[in-house]
Structures are given as structure tokens and as C-alpha cells.
Amino acid sequence: MQVRSAFAIQRDVIFAIFIREISSRFGNNYAFGNVWLLLEPLVLMTVFIILFGFRDIATLGNIAPPVFIVITYVPFRMLWSSTMKKAMGAAGARGLFGFRQIRLFDVFLAHALIEGGVYLTVKSIILTTLLWFGLDALPSDPLLFLGYAATLWLFAVFFGILACMVSRIAKEVEKIINIMTLPLLLMSAVIYPITVVPAQYRNFFSYNPLAHASELLREAWIEGYVSPIADFEYLATWTLVLMAMAMSAYRLNWRWVIAT
Amino acid sequence: MISLQNVSKYYPTRFGPNYILKDLNIDIPDDRDIAILGRNGAGKTTLMRMIGGIDFPTRGRIVSDRFISWPLGIGSGFNGVMTGRENVRYVCRIHGVKDIKPVEEFVRDFSEIGENFDLPIGSYSSGMRMRYGFAVSMGFDFDTYLMDEIMAVGDADFKKKCSDTLKNKRETSNIILVSHNMDNIREHCNAAILLAYGRAEFYESVDQAIYRYMRS
């Protein structure tokens, strides 16, 4: 045995969980095995794009409907929903805590990295496919878009950690959050631009940080679009507050959360 | 030295806190092989888990500068979907072992599970799983090995192999053993901790501890 620094241990553990998760999530029970890690979100996204993207829906500028759906729905579904739920359920993976090196936070980090990586890969595949079909599917400001996507991802991670901690006190929290997924999708300007909402109700939508995320992603993607509600500071403040709360809740609670 | 300082552990229940261990103060010396004795529910497994670092005292702390193994034998940290080989790699990565191949070979040979080594662990019988788990932990050089009832299953041949390996290991490291089999304890241990009446007592002599345990 070799003495390692705390940082080295954490790096090794995250890598180990990463590989374990990738090789066991679908594992040997599925005919296509690990390919499902990408195939599952790809199929989901494709179905949704076909359902909504080839109808006459409200878009902005000269953006084609399928591209319009891809801009916001893929981040919402993968960066927000999946990442948040993975973090929320991380404490349930009892089997992981059989080694002293593995702490709950490593599991959070590993899951967050996997979800982020899967998002980048799936998004690239979808965009390539759309480009293949002759649609203009490139962001006007890719770096800004990635920055906003990363903020949404952090928002989801910390929200999930906080939910995981709070659900120790009341398990119902998980139920409520799961029920809220669909209403949130409808309230967060994901499959429609905020401009279709009458001006007097936009104020109400602008309390929702996820609506800001959607609109910011659109601003970065669509040339010349200025959203009436988008405010990066608002989203960033939410993320920072969630981070502070998630970290303190974790610090106070982590022993109890993984107690058998 | 593994030093337990004012260690208390309780689980919250609807009747209030249920204390498993209360204000334990024990030093476990490096050069003794320790048996932990106690009736069901006395907190043997909890104590093992806390020494192994996968459970945590509610109050107090456990201090040690030794490399302590994971507690063998209790529902371990292996993944049932992954094969024996993949699980060995996983454990190697966690412990920072870069040279994985020799460990793989060692576990494969030692556990004598043959081709099953490349099949998912979930398909193993309980005996095979025990052999496998024991082999994996023997593949690493820990200072202290924690074992919870691991010699309860396995055929006579494998039991003998375990005993011989343990005797070898004990020259360089020590073991902490939970067992209800007094012969095992007499064979492998030369000191004991008796958990009874919500207290823990350290005994230099195993026979004395067993005598007290039988009458507790």
C-alpha cells in the first residue's frame, strides 16, 4: 500500500466509479451493452424532435423547428433532469460505500461528470445528424453557449445534492421533484420561446431560473436574438445560493445519509 | 495502533436514539490479533464497519495510521453486474494500485473459481463469493485485515487454505476477527475485545475472554 494525498485518492475514486458506472449501468443484460449509455438519450431525443420538431411550432428568426427544439430541450432533459436526478439518487447506491475511500461526494462528482460527458457527446451526434440533413444547426456563439450550458449543469448538480440531503428528513421530496419534472418542462420556456407569452405574464415566468437558462441558451445560439427576460446574473445567483446550501447540508448530513 | 476515543454510535429510531455502542475507549495494539466477541446485536459488526471506515461514530473518533482493509464478509462493495475481473480492477483503482495484472492473476488462482472469474459476480454461489472476496483482500498488502464471519462457509480445503494464508499474513500484519466459532478464534487470535452490557473490555488472553463471554 502506498500513501496518497487526499486529492490523489479522490481522483482515483472518481475514476473508479466512473468506469464502474459506465460498465455496469447497462452491463451484460442488454444486447447492445454499454452502447445504451448513448443510445438511450439519443432515442429519447430523436422521438421528441420528431414529435415536436416537424410541426408548425413557434420559433425565432429563421431557425428550423427541429433545431429550435434541440437548442433548449436537450440541455433541459440531459443537463437538468438527468443530472439532477442522478445526484438526488446517489445516496441510494449503497453498494458503493463498501470501501472507506469512497465518500458520497465522489459519487456526486462522478455522476455529474458522466452526465455532462454524455450530454456533450449526444448533442454533438444530434447536431452532426441535423447538419447532414442540410439544416443550419450551428450556434452563433459556441463558447457562450457552452458557458451557459455549464451553468445549468452546475445548477442541476447542486439542486440534486440539496434534494438528496433534504430527502433524508422527508423522503417525499424526491416524489414531489419527480412529479414536477413535466410541469417544469412546460413552465421553463423549453419548447416555446418566451416571446409567445403575453407581455403581462412574462414577469411570472421570470421567477423560474430554468426559464432564464432556456432563454440564455437561445440568446447564445440565435444571432441577434435578445430575450425579454434572460438575465445571467439571476441564474448565477441561484446557482451560487444552491451551491452554498448544498455544501452546508452535505457537511452537516452526509454521515446520516449513507447510514444503513 | 488503532485508537478509539470516546466512540459512541446510535441509530435514530422512532423510540429515540438506539445506542449500539457508548463511550468506548480502547487502543488496539499493532502486534496482536484481536477477536471481537459479543452476542447478536452487541455491535460487533458496527464496530468493524467503523474501524473499516465505512460507518462513522456519532460521537468520538477513531484514530489510526495503519492501512486497514475493508471489512470482509459483510455485504461487500462489489458490483454484481460486473465480472470478477472487472471488480478486481475496480478495487485496484480505488486503492491506487497501478499494476493491476498481477493482482488479477493472484485472485484468479487463489480463489480457484476458474472460468467464473470472467462471469458476473451476481451469478456466483455464496461459497464462491466468499472465496472471491477473501482472495481479493489477500491480493492487497494491508496492515490490518478486518474479517466478519468469513470462515463460516467454504469447504474444508478452502478453509485450510484460508488458515494457512492468514498465518502467513499475520507475520507482517494483524487481523481483527468477528466469529462465533471459538475454535477459529483460539486458532487465529491472541487477544480479544468483549462487547457486553453496552461496554467493551480488552482481554490479553483469549481464553479468559471466551470464559467471560460464555457467562455474559
| Per-residue confidence in pLDDT tens, chain B, 216 aa | 899 999 999 888 889 888 888 888 999 998 899 999 998 888 888 899 899 998 899 899 999 999 999 988 755 788 888 889 999 999 999 999 999 999 999 999 998 888 999 998 888 888 888 889 889 988 898 999 998 877 666 678 888 888 888 888 888 899 999 988 888 888 888 899 999 887 888 999 999 999 999 887
What are the Cα distances from residue A28, in Å, to A150, B9, B78, B128, B213? 32, 40, 16, 20, 47
Query: Which helix (DSSP H) or strand (DSSP E) does residue A17 occupy?
Result: helix A6-24
For residue A61, is it left (φ>0), alpha (ψ between -120 and 50) or beta? left
Instruction: Tell me how crowded residue A99 is: count the other CB atoms within 10 A of its CB.
Output: 22
Are A98 and B77 within 8 A, CB to CB? yes
Are B91 and A99 within 8 A, CB to CB? yes
What DSSP line would sit under A102-143, residue for residue? --HHHHHHHHHHHHHHHHHHHHHHHHHHHHHTT-----SSHH
Are A99 and B93 within 8 A, CB to CB? no
Digit-coded pLDDT (tens) for A2-54: 888 999 999 999 999 998 888 887 766 777 778 888 888 899 888 988 887 77
Closest to A99 (Cβ–Cβ): which among B70, B89, B120? B70
d(CA B180, CA B164): 20
A1 occurs within a structural domain: no
Range(s) of chain B covered by CATH 3.40.50.300: 1-69+142-216
**B97-102 LR contacts (CB < 8 Å, sep 24+):** B97/B140
CA distance A153 to chain B (A): 26
What are the Cα distances from residue A250, in Å, to A108, A231, A243, A244, A246? 11, 29, 10, 10, 6
Matching residue, cell 456533450: A120
So what's the pLDDT on residue B197?
80
Q: How many domains does chain A have?
A: 1
A247 occurs within a structural domain: yes
CATH number for B1-69+142-216 (one of 3.50.30.60, 3.40.630.10, 3.40.50.1820, 3.40.50.300): it is: 3.40.50.300
User: What pTM, to 2 d.p., does this model score?
Assistant: 0.89
Whole domain around residue A75: which residue ranges?
A: 6-257
d(CA B43, CA B41): 5
Interface ipTM = 0.87
What one-character DSSP code corresponds to residue B60? Answer: E
The pLDDT tens digits along chain A (260 residues) read 788 899 999 999 999 999 888 888 776 677 777 888 888 889 988 898 888 777 777 777 778 888 888 899 999 999 999 999 999 988 887 778 889 899 999 999 999 999 999 999 999 999 999 999 988 889 999 999 999 999 999 999 999 999 999 988 888 999 999 999 889 999 998 888 888 889 889 989 999 999 999 999 999 999 888 888 999 999 999 999 999 999 999 999 888 887 75
Q: If contacts are CB pairs under 8 Å, which of residues 100-129 in chain A contact chain B?
A: 100-102
Chain B touched by A97 (CB under 8 Å): yes
So what's the pLDDT on residue A220?
94
Give yes or no for a contact between A206 and A187, defined as CB atoms under 8 angstroms apart. no
The distance of Cα B93 from the centroid of its chain, to the nearest Å, equals 21
